[in-house]
Amino acid sequence: MAERGRGWARAVRGLLLDVSGVLYDSGAGGGVPITGSVEAVRRIKASGLKLQLCTNETQATRQSFVRKLRALGFDISVAQVTAPAPAACHLLRERGLRPHLLVHHDLVPEFAEIDKTNPNCVVLGDAAENFTYANLNEAFRLLIGMEKPVLLSLGKGRYYKETDGLKLDVGAYMKALEYACDIQAEVVGKPSKRFFESALAELGVPAEQAIMIGDDIVNDVGGAQQCGMRALQVRTGKYR
Amino acid sequence: MAERGRGWARAVRGLLLDVSGVLYDSGAGGGVPITGSVEAVRRIKASGLKLQLCTNETQATRQSFVRKLRALGFDISVAQVTAPAPAACHLLRERGLRPHLLVHHDLVPEFAEIDKTNPNCVVLGDAAENFTYANLNEAFRLLIGMEKPVLLSLGKGRYYKETDGLKLDVGAYMKALEYACDIQAEVVGKPSKRFFESALAELGVPAEQAIMIGDDIVNDVGGAQQCGMRALQVRTGKYR
């Protein structure tokens, strides 16, 4: 691709790829690769282009996420994945925040080293089945009881597609808590500028030499463009 | 009160009262009257002032709501209650809308006469335990699948107080669905102008001769003022 591209493509040295809806359609049984995507990743790596996955996946640790991708046939390492939970841990430490977690059960190990006693913030991820009435009320009560409520949201997606249909994403629940508490969440993950900057640093390529490829016009395309990158929207995944 | 009031109070002929947080604190066991409120209702009625309850209560039919109030000692009839579900039924009929209901189980009988086949809108109430992940995804999928999604929300409260603590109100879930579908809900119930106008019509008193009394600055006070009524905020209920 780099060798045969038109002018702008010649300058491309690295690709950031969204995962769900681009490499595979996620689903309860682990998901299904999108036709041609395993081969595409193989060819990108063979071409010498640098590759970093830039995902808002928060239903699993990076380790188990990579295990899943490898099982589907993608030759990817943990270092090649930029994800919101490690970014959130960095931010929590930096600011001395002790989170109450409303996240997917499988994401909890990412926060193992973080002090969670006497919480002074709430971290919200795509909690899926953990988005119960009781858990949402609990997170709300903690926030409304804080002098200055801090809500960190691991993404702000509206919805995503699983093999059994569309699902509300973390952004919808973020809006519910924002409205109830009259606050603004801080988004960790796409489309935040800081998150794309981390992904570029891990990719080792400057913004003008990288392209982001994703299926979400706001999180992927908008976020990347805000960082000075070019971006492509694929027509798989949630594209309608 | 009418006899002994200052100038403006002399002109008052009717009272609209919010219920939860004003007459009682609601709770799982049926709630507890707020000190003095049973006697206050008795004296209002004895004074010759007209009285109408103007509630966003959507966890019960008006019939069972009134049964509960009477059990707590309030001398109130069904005709003295203006509530969102009957207002919504009126609107659904007027516009030929067939709802999918995401409401409290005990509210469902209010919609018994409404055609609910092949839904072309979603009606959202304070569904409480029915606010499950699965039910929210179902309502979302129906909305996102409509050519022009119609979401009717029975109120837009942020939260309310029950005896066991604060709970997220219907407004928070409304915001979640609005964001996910990129739409604006139509609010039936307080603070909508149309709802207060219905309550005034049922009270039989013009806006300038009525006072609204509630604990919610937006739903009660703001909504009433928008209709040309005066309003008082009490410091019970959710007042913080």
| Structure confidence at residue B163 (pLDDT) | 78
Query: Does the beta-carbon distance from A131 to B128 stay under 8 Å?
Result: no
| Structure confidence at residue B121 (pLDDT) | 98
Query: Does the beta-carbon distance from A182 to B129 stay under 8 Å?
Result: no
| Structure confidence at residue A5 (pLDDT) | 47
Nearest one of A61, A217, A172, A218 to B139, comparing CA atoms: A172
| Structure confidence at residue B240 (pLDDT) | 65
Q: According to CATH, what is the number of the domain A85-187?
A: 3.40.50.1000
Please tell me if residue B217 touches chain A, with a CB cutoff of 8 Å.
Answer: no
Q: Is there a common fold for B13-56+191-233 and B85-187?
A: yes
| Structure confidence at residue B5 (pLDDT) | 47
| Structure confidence at residue A2 (pLDDT) | 39
Residue type, B93: R
Query: Does the beta-carbon distance from A172 to B180 stay under 8 Å?
Result: yes
A67-91 per-position pLDDT tens digit: 999 999 999 999 999 999 999 999 9
| Structure confidence at residue B32 (pLDDT) | 87
Question: Which residues of chain A neighbour B182 with C-beta distances below 8 Å?
Answer: 158
Q: What is the pLDDT along chain A (240 residues), one digit of tens a residue?
A: 334 445 666 689 999 999 988 999 876 566 889 999 999 999 999 999 999 999 999 999 999 999 999 999 999 999 999 999 999 999 999 999 999 999 999 999 999 999 999 999 999 999 999 999 999 999 999 999 999 999 999 999 999 888 788 999 999 999 999 999 999 999 999 999 999 999 999 999 999 999 999 998 989 999 999 999 999 998 877 666
Query: Does the beta-carbon distance from A168 to B129 stay under 8 Å?
Result: no
Please state the length of chain B: 240
| Structure confidence at residue A186 (pLDDT) | 97
SS (H, E, C) chain A: CCCCCCHHHHCCCEEEECCECCCEEECCCCCEECCCHHHHHHHHHHCCCEEEEECCCCCCCHHHHHHHHHHCCCCCCHHHEECHHHHHHHHHHHHCCCEEEECCHHHHHHHCCCCCCCCCEEEECCCHHHCCHHHHHHHHHHHHCCCCCCEEEECCCCEEEECCEEEECHHHHHHHHHHHHCCCCEEECCCCHHHHHHHHHHHCCCHHHEEEEECCHHHHHHHHHHCCCEEEECCCCCCC
B129-163 per-position pLDDT tens digit: 999 999 999 999 999 999 999 999 999 999 988 87
Query: Does the beta-carbon distance from B144 to A133 stay under 8 Å?
Result: no
Question: Which residues of chain A neighbour B128 with C-beta distances below 8 Å?
Answer: 133
Interface test with A, best of B143, B173, B181 (most A CBs within 10 A): B173
Gap between the Cα atoms of A201 and A54, Å rounded: 12
**Residue numbers in chain B where pLDDT is lower than 70:** 1-10, 27-30, 238-240
| Structure confidence at residue A148 (pLDDT) | 96
Question: How far B171 CA lies from chain A's nearest CA (Å)?
Answer: 8
| Structure confidence at residue A80 (pLDDT) | 96
Question: Which residues of chain A neighbour B187 with C-beta distances below 8 Å?
Answer: none
By C-alpha distance, the chain A residue nearest B143 is A166
| Structure confidence at residue B9 (pLDDT) | 63
SS (H, E, C) chain B: CCCCCCHHHHCCCEEEECCECCCEEECCCCCEECCCHHHHHHHHHHCCCEEEEECCCCCCCHHHHHHHHHHCCCCCCHHHEECHHHHHHHHHHHHCCCEEEECCHHHHHHHCCCCCCCCCEEEECCCHHHCCHHHHHHHHHHHHCCCCCCEEEECCCCEEEECCEEEECHHHHHHHHHHHHCCCCEEECCCCHHHHHHHHHHHCCCHHHEEEEECCHHHHHHHHHHCCCEEEECCCCCCC
Domain boundaries, chain A: 13-56+191-233, 85-187
At residue B161's C-alpha, the angle toward residues A157 and B158, to 5°, is 35
Query: Does the beta-carbon distance from B158 to A137 stay under 8 Å?
Result: no
Interface test with B, best of A129, A179, A187, A216 (most B CBs within 10 A): A179
Instruction: Say if CB A106 and CB A59 are below 8 A apart.
Output: yes
Question: Which residues of chain B neighbour A141 with C-beta distances below 8 Å?
Answer: 165-166
Nearest one of B224, B185, B160 to B91, comparing CA atoms: B185
- Other residues' Cβ atoms within 10 Å of the Cβ of residue A4: 8
Residue type, B159: Y
Please check whether the domain covering A13-56+191-233 is classified as CATH 3.40.50.1000. Answer: yes
Residue type, A171: G
Question: Which residues of chain B neighbour A182 with C-beta distances below 8 Å?
Answer: 158
CB-nearest to A168 from B158, B169, B176 is: B176
Please tell me if residue B146 touches chain A, with a CB cutoff of 8 Å.
Answer: no
Please tell me if residue A140 touches chain B, with a CB cutoff of 8 Å.
Answer: yes
Gap between the Cα atoms of B202 and B79, Å rounded: 8
Question: How far B136 CA lies from chain A's nearest CA (Å)?
Answer: 8
User: Across all residues in chain A, what is the average pLDDT?
Assistant: 92
Nearest one of A187, A219, A188, A223 to A207, comparing CA atoms: A223
Gap between the Cα atoms of B216 and B223, Å rounded: 10
| Structure confidence at residue B237 (pLDDT) | 73
Gap between the Cα atoms of B156 and B173, Å rounded: 9
Nearest one of B133, B226, B125 to A169, comparing CA atoms: B133
Q: Which residues 79-98 of A are in CB contact (within 8 Å) with B?
A: none
